[in-house]
Structure 1
């Protein structure tokens, strides 16, 4: 599945970004901490050959989702990605029902499952494929993978870490997830992708090519924003820069 996506999208990795471990508790996300993270994020963007915008605001304090909601979202996204690789809609819908996951569907996802296979648009299928990068970010947030380098696409080991619906596997691999990374660690990663996203958008608006994929950055930031801000619905995550 992943090899097919990479061939389809013509993925090429660029220089990895530096990752640093941090484990501050939620209450230590102070103004001073946020200012320090801003400078660290800007340094990482510059190290990737990007540019920064000094007046981009600091992130708000986190309102993290519960891990049960995150693993439910991951399970739904993983299942629906299979549709973009020609899995029948009815089969995916039945699997979600069997695993008691229908309650985690967003309205847009429910609308996709209400369609017949032949009525799915190319744009809908492309959007589902790109959800691989959103899912990869959530796998990082739940400690399934060790890093989230914007210079690398989702790993070749991704499929082995997830339920294989084609083989009839249950959702056990995701249902057993029981913790998110610390709030401060999530803050650092989201702040980095937020500022990196600004760079990507600004390059596109000025007719230039960014050094990293804007689509990759967008999808990962969306997943991180959704985890970090529980008020956002999956279909309506605020992605302004």
Structure 2
């Protein structure tokens, strides 16, 4: 259910203050807001976020040796085949595509896990929560999607909190790329690719309603160009 989005201006000010604390470049004047005053915000349905998390985890498992037959069987048993994107399907069944790009989705999974309440932090200076793998579907043991959902009992974040985190990562994405371009030391152990993956997940999962927002698109339709 949509709720009133928080005023984006103090949210942006807080994002910029945090960039300064991290000694990172700050966006230029006029850097676009993610949403406008008066917009509404919601998270995608919990089941959709859980499904996307599980599918990305499965694709990552394929990157590290899970046989294609086992992967396809798990998707069929879990009734998730229709939610797999065409590029993901090509990789799962025939290992076609950029393996490195799928490996990078590890940080997208982390952001989705944060949205589901499975991870306590989404700190840009820290790698993924070391307990994350245990919280994801146990694929080698054949844990199904349904069984996994029952085990984790997701407690999704408040939509306004998720919107604020999206604004922060929107600014961080620009800032990390700028820092790498200038040769400025980053504040933690992860790079711009990881920041971009976390932003991708947040952009997909946080849905705004208002006169300047298009209907929510698919995973592969997320635009990270701005």
Give the alignment's TM-score, normalised by structure 2. Answer: 0.84
Q: What does the per-residue CA deviation read over 1:61-100, in whole Å, with 9 as the maximum and x for residues that have no partner?
A: 4353111211111111111110111111221111011111
Give me the whole-angstrom Cα distance separating, in 2, the residues matched to 1:237 and 1:65. 14
Alignment of 1:14-163 (within 5 A): 26-27=3-4, 29-30=5-6, 33-53=7-27, 54-60=29-35, 61=39, 62=41, 64-115=43-94, 117=95, 120=96, 124-163=98-137
The answer to whether the Cα contact below 8 Å between 1:74 and 1:174 also exists between their aligned partners in 2 is: no
Deviations 1:88-119 (A, max 9, x none): 1221111011111112111211221231x5xx
Contact 1:75 1:101 in 2 (8 A): no
Indicate the structure with greater strand content: 2
Query: Given the alignment of the two structures, is residue 189 of structure 1 paired with residue 174 of structure 2, yes or no?
Result: no
Is the Cα–Cα contact under 8 Å of residues 25 and 179 in structure 2 kept in the other structure? no
Residue number in structure 2 paired with 1:11: none
Stretches of structure 2 that go unaligned for 5 or more consecutive residues are 208-214
Cα RMSD for the two superposed structures: 2.0
Supply the distance in 1 between the matched residues of 2:143 and 2:69 (Cα, whole angstroms): 16
Q: Flag structure 1 segments of 5+ consecutive residues without an equivalent.
A: 1-24
Partner of 2:143: 169
Give the whole-Å Cα distance in 1 for the aligned partners of 2:119 and 2:154.
14
Task: Give, in angstroms, the shift of residue 208 of structure 1.
Answer: 4.6
The whole-number CA distance in structure 2 between the counterparts of 1:49 and 1:208 is 9
- Give the TM-score of the pair, scaled to structure 1: 0.79
Q: Which residue of 2 aligns with 1:214?
A: 192
